[in-house]
Structure formats: C-alpha cells, structure tokens
Chain A
Amino acid sequence: MKNLDRNPRTDLIKRFYKHRMASFGMGMVVLFLLLAVMAPAISWLYGVSPDQQNVFNRYASVWSSGATRNAFSREPDAAAVLHVLGTDELGRDVLMRLLYGTQISIGIGLAVGLISALFGILIGAVAGYWGGWVDSALMRLTDSMLSLPIIPVLIVLAALDFTKVEFLNRIITSENESVIKMVFILCLFSWMTVARLVRGKILSVKQMDYVAAARGLGASHSRILFLHILPNTVGPLLVAVSLIIGQAILIEAGLSYLGLGVQPPTPSWGNMLFNAQELIYEAPLLAFFPGVMIFLAVISFNFIGDGLQLALNPKADQ
C-alpha cells in the first residue's frame, strides 16, 4: 500500500540526498550563497572593508591584528582589527576579499549557468521541434563550437577591447566592465551541451502519443513545446547546468589568474591569485586560500551534477 502514494518528485529528492557527496555539495553551495549575500554585513560588523589598504601591515600572518594608521602619524587611527587570514601585498584583509570574491565568482558562475541554459534551450528547442534545414544548420554550428579549443579562443576574446564594439557600450560601465565581459564570453561557449541535450530529448518526445494527442486537440506550437515537451528535459538540464556552473567558475578563475578576467580592485578568487605567484616566498598562504575556495566551489557543483544524474537514473547506480 505504501508504494501507491509515493510522489516521484520526493523520491527523486530522497535519492539525491542519499548520495552523500551530493548533499555535501548542496550544503556547500548554500553556504557560499549565504556568504556572498552577507559579505557586506560581515564587513560592516567586522569593521574592515575589502579594499582598505594598509601599507604598514602587509603580509600579516594568519590570525594577527594590526591597526590602520595614517601614513604621517605614529598614532593608530582606529582600534586594531584581527586579520583572520592575514593580509595581502597591499595590507588588505584576505578574509574580506575572499568573501567579496565569493560574490563575484559564484555570481559569474550562476549567471553563466542561467543565461547559457536559456540560450541553449532556445537553440535546442528550435532545432529539435522544427527540424529540417534549421536543425542541420544549428547543429552544425553547435558541433563546430564544441570542437573548438575553448581556452585560447577565450583568451583572445578576453583580451579584446569591448568598447570598440558599439552595442556593448550601452550595457557596460567602467566599474562592472570586466565582470559583464566575463559573463558574456563565457556564455558564448557554454550553451552547446544544453542545446544538444534539449534537441535530443525533443526528438524522442516529439513522437510520443500524448504530443500527437495534444496536437489533435488543437494545441498551439508554443503550448506543445513549453507545456508538453520541455518539462521532460528539466532533469538532465539541471545536471548539465550544474556542470556548466562548475566549468564557468574554473575558467573565470583561470582567465582572471592570467590577468585577463575580472580586473582589480574588484576581488575574484582568480585575480587574487594573479599576484600570488610572484609572492610565494614572502607569503605562500596568499596563493593557497583562493585556490581552496575555487576548488570547493567547483567540486560542490560537480557533486551536485553527479548526484542529480544518479537520482535521475537509479539503475545506473545498482
């Protein structure tokens, strides 16, 4: 009897959380989101801002305190603050920069995941539903973009002067320029897996009887597409998106490390590593913390993707 009132969705969620690593990943992502949202509050409570420099207290060690001082006086301006993770080459608090970096790095990851999912759904749906030459043209494009070596192409795109392109000038301001640019170029190269997946699913679902029934009842194309076909793709779509988010965070970090991604003073985990390599003798830990954050974020999203995959195909796990 018990089996009869089982809800497939709660089953799915149960199977997901049975996967220990997936629950860990989910917990970490929630934690990262909380940290990102609360970064300004923490900074206010703590009395340290991520951009506040202090040349008298560079490379402070972990768990040390230092007072901000005016360059011309010997007296400290304010009470000494505790630098939990020490300070960087400009005397900025590493912990605060990591927290604000969470906003940027996770934010870029989520934005890329969302936008490229929408774009991929659009391309995949158009190709799969209409078929014919539209399908072959779009899929040819998708395949050739999948076969490109991403990093060299992204390096070229990241090095471009986007102010030379007219229509981008309107949405870009000098403050957010590098962040918007990162989201834009990462989206350009992230939608392909989603498009292929949605197209494949549509091709198989299109032949189902219930779609024919809906069509027979006179449902419009968009109604069939959005109400009858696309809901079938949600599961695999979530898997693909969580992997895309992980990849986006990883590539953003790589480009920012090369100095082509998010530009200082805006902190991102990647650009905190930009200077760190030259400072490995003075402050090896400066190179350590941001990498740990990147690693934890990416592995969390990968765990979530894997957990979802297993929850969707319970047979694969047996």
Chain B
Amino acid sequence: MLRYFSGRLLGAVATFFVLSYVIFQLMALMPGDPVDTMASSIPNITAADIARLKALYGLDKPGYVRFWNWFSGAITGDLGYSRTYQVPVTQIVAGPIFNTFLLSICSLSLALLIAIPLGVFSALKKNSSFDYIVNFFAFAGISVPSFWLGIVLIILFSVTFQWLPAGGTTSVELSGSEAGSAFFDRLKYLILPVTSLMFFQLGSFVRYTRNAMLEILNDDFIRTARAKGLDNSKVVFKHALRNALIPLITVVSISMGFLLSGAIITETVFAYNGLGRLVYDSIMGNDFNVAMVGLLLVVGMVLLMNMVADFMYAVVDPRVSYEKPR
C-alpha cells in the first residue's frame, strides 16, 4: 500500500511538472507579449530599446530556458510580480484560495446533505411519482448551464426581489464590527454562488446514490438481514446505505476537481473574489505570472484530490487492495 502510494505521488509530481511546462509554453502563444504591451504605451521607444528590454528579462531565450528560469525561481518561493497589481504574486493568491475553498466546500456539503436522502428515498420508492420527479430534477441539474442558472438567480433574487447581493465577496462597509455580522455578511454573498455551483453535483450525487442503493438492495446480504427479521429502517440505513456510501467517496473527491474548475465560471458570474476569477482576469489582462500560478494551483488541487480519492477508498473499504497479487 505504502509502495503503491509513493508511486502514485511520484506520478502526480511528474504530471504536475509536465503540465506546468505545457501551460508555460501555451502562455507564450497567448496574444500580447509583456514587453510589447509595455512598449506600446511609450511612444518614443526604439526597436533597439525593446530588444534590450527583452534581453534584460530573458524573453529572447528559447522556451525551455525561460521555463527553467521561471521554475527555479518558483521553487525558491519567487513567483514573480503581478503586472496589474504591481505586488508579488504570493500576496495576491492567498485570499482567493481561501474564498474558492469556502465556496467549493459549502457547495459540496450542501449538495451531499440534500442528495443522499433524495437518492435513498427515490430508490426505495422506485418508479413512484416521487422517483420520477427527483430523477427529472437530477437530469435538469446535470444539464443546466451553471452560469445561466447564476444569471437567472441574480435576476430573481437581486433584481426583482432585492433580497440578496448580485455579486461580490463581502460588503465594502460593514455596519457592525462584531464577528457575527461579518459572518452573516459573508453568508449573504455566498448563497447565490453556492446554489448555482451546487446543482450539477446535486444531480450527479442523486443519480449516483439512487443507482448504488438499487444495486445493493438486490444483494443477498440484504435479503438475509430482512429474513432475520430486522426492521426495514435498520436494513436500509445501516446495511444498505453504508455500503452504498463507500464508492460515493470516490465520486465526491473527483467532483471536488469539477467544483474547482466549475468555480471559474461561477465566480466570474458573481464577481466573487476567488481563484477562478483571478485566473480568468489575469488571462484576459495578460497578467502571465498570476495566471500561471493560479492555473497551477487549480491543477495541483485537482491532482491532489484524485490521490486522496484513491487513498480514502482503500482506507474505508478493506476489500480494496493496491498490492500486486502474488
């Protein structure tokens, strides 16, 4: 097991390295070279000056040298400066990481809280009208474009009813300085983004729980438990649900990756100050250093989550073994 996971870790690190190289080179294909952008605002700069500036920043060197320069700086903690904000990248990313994490965790836990009971009950009442309705909404959840859902929610709750803010992360000015009001302020800004981000996960978790429950309820050990005379709720919630939830761990960890990448669009819709919006803004604003770090953070978190999924799976379900059969 230890050997398997050290191998996995090595593989993930290698993937991360290759990906950072690929992303770095892709960035070079984006429109707008940093020096050219800078030079375009200075009318009397000469071509020789531009060439000198490029040489100064090492932009005239081949791609792999530039990548190595960036990478060797990055591992010593020098991630470069943001072109837009004129501060080191490390100062910019800290806040958004937390905000994105908060958004994803809230969506994930809310989706699970709603989806598991719905899935269980629609499996128990299979082919009832309740089952059909739940199934339809699950399909709607995985089919609705989350950004459009966000816009519709804004139109409903911010424009028409004016109950919730249309976007942002916190109020600029807090009326009370006590901790409670800051908390509720935060919450107010989270409701709409969390709701629109949640629906996709909700749909897929419901479908997943329902199918897993249906499969397990047909198993022999459930029949045995029933034959023993155990009451129905114990059979359903203790025997069946527990086993149905084991593979759900994988689904949840993988959907963490979907959440993080889906958050990019949702955060843009709601102008929520998260990692996704940072990546989008920096790509649009040619802020390469920030875009690079933001993207790698998202990619790294997803790779990490995939590994956690495998690990949890082995820990929770003793039948899973990563040893080579002898």
List residues of A whose CB falls within 8 A of some B CB.
21, 144, 147-153, 155-157, 159-161, 164-165, 246, 250, 253-254, 257-258, 273, 276-277, 280-281, 284, 287-288, 290-291, 294-295, 298-299, 302-303, 306
**CB–CB B261/A291 < 8 A:** no
Instruction: Tell me, yes or no, whether B283 is within 8 Å of chain A by CB.
Output: yes
Q: Which of B112-170 contact A (CB under 8 A)?
A: 136, 139-140, 142-149, 151-152, 154-155, 159
Instruction: Tell me, yes or no, whether B30 is within 8 Å of chain A by CB.
Output: yes
Given A148-B302, A155-B279, CB of A281 within 8 Å of CB of B139:
no
Given A151-B261, A155-B264, CB of A254 within 8 Å of CB of B147:
yes
**CB–CB B159/A284 < 8 A:** yes
**CB–CB A295/B264 < 8 A:** no
- Chain B's interface: helix, strand, loop or mixed, by majority? helix
A158's closest neighbor in chain B, by CB? B283
- Give 22 CB contacts A-B under 8 Å: A147-B306, A151-B262, A151-B265, A152-B261, A153-B23, A153-B295, A153-B299, A156-B291, A160-B26, A161-B29, A164-B29, A250-B145, A253-B148, A254-B145, A254-B147, A257-B145, A257-B147, A258-B280, A273-B148, A277-B269, A298-B145, A299-B144
Q: Which chain A residues lie closer than 8 Å to B159 at the CB level?
A: 280-281, 284
List residues of B whose CB falls within 8 A of some A CB.
15, 19, 23, 26-27, 29-31, 136, 139-140, 142-149, 151-152, 154-155, 159, 257-258, 260-262, 264-265, 268-269, 276, 279-280, 283-284, 291, 295, 298-299, 302-303, 306
User: How many A-B residue contacts, CB cutoff 8 Å?
Assistant: 119
Q: Which chain B residues lie closer than 8 Å to A295 at the CB level?
A: 140, 143-145, 148
Q: Which chain B residues lie closer than 8 Å to A144 at the CB level?
A: 15
Q: Which chain B residues lie closer than 8 Å to A281 at the CB level?
A: 159
Instruction: Name the residue among A155, A246, A284, A302 with the largest chain B CB count within 10 angstroms.
Output: A155
**CB–CB A287/B143 < 8 A:** no
**CB–CB B139/A299 < 8 A:** yes
**CB–CB A294/B145 < 8 A:** yes
Query: Chain A's nearest CB lies how many Å from the CB of B206?
Result: 13
Q: Which chain B residues lie closer than 8 Å to A303 at the CB level?
A: 139
Q: Which chain A residues lie closer than 8 Å to B264 at the CB level?
A: 151-152, 155
Query: Chain A's nearest CB lies how many Å from the CB of B277?
Result: 11
Q: Which chain B residues lie closer than 8 Å to A161 at the CB level?
A: 29-31
> CB < 8 Å: which of A21, A151, A276 contacts B151?
A276
Q: Which chain A residues lie closer than 8 Å to B269 at the CB level?
A: 277
A306–B142 CA distance with the chains assembled, in angstroms:
12
A72–B3 CA distance with the chains assembled, in angstroms:
79
A287's closest neighbor in chain B, by CB? B151
A147's closest neighbor in chain B, by CB? B306
A303–B65 CA distance with the chains assembled, in angstroms:
50
**CB–CB B148/A149 < 8 A:** no
Given A254-B147, A288-B152, A291-B151, CB of A149 within 8 Å of CB of B26:
no
A25–B264 CA distance with the chains assembled, in angstroms:
29
**CB–CB A284/B155 < 8 A:** yes
> CB < 8 Å: which of A147, A160, A299, A306 contacts B30?
A160
A298–B260 CA distance with the chains assembled, in angstroms:
22
A302–B147 CA distance with the chains assembled, in angstroms:
19
Query: Chain A's nearest CB lies how many Å from the CB of B174?
Result: 26
> CB < 8 Å: which of A147, A160, A250, A287 contacts B257?
A147
**CB–CB B145/A156 < 8 A:** no
**CB–CB B265/A258 < 8 A:** yes
Given A149-B299, A151-B261, CB of A156 within 8 Å of CB of B154:
no
**CB–CB A149/B260 < 8 A:** yes
**CB–CB A291/B29 < 8 A:** no
Q: Which chain B residues lie closer than 8 Å to A165 at the CB level?
A: 29
> CB < 8 Å: which of B23, B136, B143 contacts A246?
B143
**CB–CB B30/A298 < 8 A:** no
**CB–CB A155/B283 < 8 A:** yes
A152–B293 CA distance with the chains assembled, in angstroms:
12
Query: Chain A's nearest CB lies how many Å from the CB of B32?
Result: 9
Supplied contacts A160-B29, A273-B147, A277-B154, 5 more A-B pairs, CB within 8 Å = A149-B258, A161-B29, A254-B145, A291-B148, A298-B145
**CB–CB B283/A294 < 8 A:** no
A294–B140 CA distance with the chains assembled, in angstroms:
12
